[in-house]
Structure 1
Amino acid sequence: MKKIITLLSLCIVAVLQAQDIKLTTKDNDLKLTSLPYYNFGKGVGLTSSDSLFQFNVRFRMQNRLSYVDNEGVDPFYEAQVRRLRLRFDGYVGNPKILYVLQLSFGVGDVGAVKPNENLNVVRDAILYYKPSQHWQIGFGLSKLPGTRQAVNSSGAIQLTDRSINNTRFNIDRDFGLHLANINEFADKFSYNFKGAVTLGEGRNWTSTNKDNNGLSLTGKVELLPFGKFKKDGHYFEGDILREEKPKLMVSGVYNFNNKARKSQGQTGDILFENKDMSSVLLDAILKYRGWAFMTTYMQRSSHNPITVNPLDATQTKAVFTGNGQDFQLSYVFKSKYELIGRFSQQNVNKDIKAYAPDTNQYSFGVNKYIWEHALKLQGEFTYENQFYDAAPTKNNWYVRFQIEIGI
């Protein structure tokens, strides 16, 4: 084993010397709008001496322990590496030609192994062309321009998970063409336009079907009436930088997914037949002197959302249609402790009442930021009421501790 390690080390050194690559102290933040990561840490970067190649590597990890008590089920402890990510980015040949690769290994990222389906290790694999500071064109797999919480990295959120509405109504990642026009200024009205033309099948989909000739079309408008946030503060939750002036972003998204195969568009169960879906996503984020407020409205609709197995009429699956609202308020003390509260309400459409309950969820969290979001301790208590159409109300709760670390 020692010989193998020594040989690998010598090979790495030889490659670095042959390419005359050196460590760089420059800021390697690519500042691409659809990149799903939080970035106060810059990772470890290598740049060639002729500046024709840059390679940067980062990682992040979430370790958590939960106690879960769901009505009708025996309480249980859950301990897991919720997320484990490796991320590589840089440019080749020209700083305007950028690449991003993100791999996931945590149980919550990869999911269970299913017959005839891919193991979803690849989260992002996209090539960008950035002709100017205002325009970005990407081709590959990345996040769609959804709500603020969906676009933010899971490492940059205040509670241990995104809201139940994000889980159900998020348009998530997809493969295709990603576009952005960015117009952000320090202290004056700013605006961004974003869009995507994608396959609508979600990440890392490879199966083919003769009926699969639909596309997903996404458009988004972002408005910042008081100018941009400190250090791209609209890409992380909580006012950890304590904005001296009020900063606000409001945004609206429309997505149409033609002939979608999954119950939630890019995610969810495989339906028995393809369905057209449309989603409307509205949100706002406000930060000022340690206070932060976020609110979101999410809605998905589909004509006749029930699908039936053509081989067995007793088996059905439904598009998850309905709407939800999130309200989240927090305050960061100068000691870097933070208190967070969130209320989420989720309402399913009457057509699918037999498939899913209406849900109200209440969450309270306490955070300690050691190195902003890159190293933090999180505690959370969440309680929810589930209202079934033909069954009693269920009350569930959990308490959780989580450590986040990344570079």
Structure 2
Amino acid sequence: MKTKLTLFLFFISLALSAQIDIKRTTTNNDLKLSALPYYSYGKGLGLTSPDSLFQLNIRFRIQNRATYLQNEDEEAAIDGQIRRLRLRFDGYVGNPHFLYALQLSFAPGDVGEIEDGKNINIIRDAVVIYRPNQNWNIAFGQTKLPGNRQRVNSSGALQLTDRSINNARFTIDRDFGVQVYNMHEWMDKFSYNFKGAITMGEGRNSTDAPDNGLAYTGKVELFPFGAFSKDGTYFEGDLKREQQPKFLLSGAYQYNDKARRTQGQLGDDLFEKRDMQSILLDGMFKYNGWSLMAAYMQRISDNPVTVNPLDDTDIKYVFTGHGFDYQASYLFLSDYEVIGRFSTQKVDNDIRAFAPNTNQYTIGLTKYVWEHAFKAQMEFTLDDLNYLDGSTKQNWYLRFQVEMGI
């Protein structure tokens, strides 16, 4: 308990030590925070009061998709849906150093099924931010954690229609708490960022009974050749056609004490709480239309299987294991882009009886009309599943998706 209190006081002291004299200003308020979770080509629809005491930016985005699915031993199916429908509001109140970011989601896949006693998951982000200068961001509220690169990037800034199977299983997601970022980015020399968070560990919109378990997250980002153009760290593909090679190396670690859910901030409720550790490593390279990315993700937990005390056939388990992602693309001058991705996922022996090892192969073609803000995507994905008993399955889908937003 003393350790947790010390860490909490450390974050508060960082916030206090970073304070400076604040003067009213109209400087650029773009934040390199997970709190602003999706790529935007423009600034949306903005309103600023005549006395500059508040600013409101309004943005929206939609993803509409149609998918043809063929799972082995099942009849083929066609699925059409509004995959995402989101509204975002951000700006400042009183002074540009005090900012806010809100994001609401309305698509069925975002909100989920309405269940008795459960919250409706409309709220994705609700966070207030103090930015005393360009190097410091201190945030309080619910937003994305500083996790793996693909998760921090918005789903609207992806080259393919979905994130990888490893991101789906091993990522750390939104949570409520305090985050502190210390940023040092320059275009023409070595740059670095430090990011930390102390959060509840239960995921977004949780109102479960309070406990004494918290999640502790830390991340380091290194840019050996300088920062990417136009915040290119935060969107996939070399849309800015970097004139000099740019490279990112990053590593994140989280310890989630007494987690309630199978994937920490995500997943079903466990029958007993478990401690979890997450390791997330990323590399990204961009140059002259080429983009290469690689990632490693791992979740560790002792005794990950939990059993319903009233029914020993009812089992919930922490999804433990590790995986690698490899992704490459080239953007033609015509704004067509070809993308390929390979992912491999290995589950730990403790849960091998419940989950298969998986290899995923994906190829995609994207046409950018207005960068990531307006694009059309085609994708083919094949999953190879290998089960403990030696059996295998192959599932595949073909998908068309349109993204539009401001």
Partner of 1:395: 394
* Residue identity in the other structure for 1:279: S
Could you say which residue in structure 1 is the equivalent of 2:247? 248
Runs of 5+ in structure 2 lacking a partner? Answer: 1-25
Q: Where in structure 1 are there 5+ consecutive unaligned residues?
A: 1-25
Find the residue that maps to 1:320 and give its secondary structure: coil
Matched length: 380
**TM-score w.r.t. structure 2 length?**
0.92
Q: List aligned pairs for 1:253-292, cutoff 5 A.
A: 253-292=252-291
The answer on whether the counterparts of 2:29 and 2:96 sit within 8 Å (CA) in structure 1 is no
Residue 80 of structure 2 aligns with an amino acid whose one-letter code is: A
C-alpha separation in 2, matches of 1:107 and 1:168? 20
Give 1:22's aligned residue.
none
Root mean square deviation, CA, Å: 1.1
Q: 1:204 & 1:109 partners in 2: Cα distance?
A: 13
Q: Write out per-residue CA displacement over residues 305-354 of structure 1, whole angstroms, 9 at most, x where no aligned residue.
A: 01111222222211000000000000000000000000000000000011
What is residue 36 of structure 1 aligned with on the other side? Answer: 37
Aligned match of 1:374? 373
- Counterpart AA for 2:344: Q
1:334-390 per-position Cα deviation (integer Å, ceiling 9, x unaligned): 000000000000000000011111000000000000000000000000001001112
Q: What's the CA shift string for 1:159-211, capped at 9, x where partnerless?
A: 000001000000010000011000000110000000100000000001215xx
Deviation at 1:27, TM superposition (A): 8.7
Q: Which residue matches 2:226?
A: 227
In 2 relative to 1, CA 118–28 (structure 1 residues): closer, same or farther, beyond 3 Å?
A: farther
SS of the residue corresponding to residue 241 of structure 1 reads coil
Distance 1:30 1:287 in 2: 22
The more displaced of 355-364 and 34-43 is: 34-43
Conservation of the 8 A alpha-carbon contact between 1:247 and 1:288:
yes
Matched residue of 2:132: which SS? coil
Name the CA distance, whole Å, in 1 between partners of 2:352 and 2:120: 32
Q: Name the aligned partner's letter for residue 106 of structure 2.
A: F
2:263 aligns to what SS in structure 1?
coil
> What is the aligned partner in structure 2 of residue 15 from structure 1?
none
Q: CA deviation at 1:259?
A: 0.2
TM-superposed CA distance for 1:32, in Å, is: 3.3
Once the 2 structures are TM-superposed, how far is the Cα of residue 29 of structure 1 from its aligned partner?
5.3
* 3-state SS in 2 of match to 1:42: coil
Q: Aligned partner of 1:296: which letter?
A: A
Q: Name the CA distance, whole Å, in 2 between partners of 1:177 and 1:99.
A: 14
Following superposition, the deviation at residue 115 of structure 1 comes to: 2.8
Find the residue that maps to 1:294 and give its secondary structure. strand
| Map of 2:323 onto structure 1 | 324
Aligned pairs (5 A) from 1:125-204? 125-204=126-205
Percent same amino acid among aligned pairs?
Answer: 61
Q: How does 1:32-111 map to 2 (within 5 A)?
A: 32-34=32-34, 35-111=36-112
Report the counterpart of residue 303 of structure 2 in structure 1: 304
Partner of 1:362: 361
Q: Which amino acid aligns with 1:270?
A: D
- How many Å apart are 1:112 and its aligned residue? 1.9
Moved more, 28-37 or 62-71: 28-37
| Aligned AA (1:355) | F
Match of 1:336 in 2: 335
Task: Specify the SS of the correspondent of 1:223.
Answer: strand
Separation in 1 of the partners of 2:343 and 2:114? 31
Could you tell me the TM-score, scaled by structure 1's length? 0.92
1:391 offset after TM fit, Å? 5.4
Q: Contact 2:101 / 2:126 at 8 angstroms: preserved in 1?
A: yes
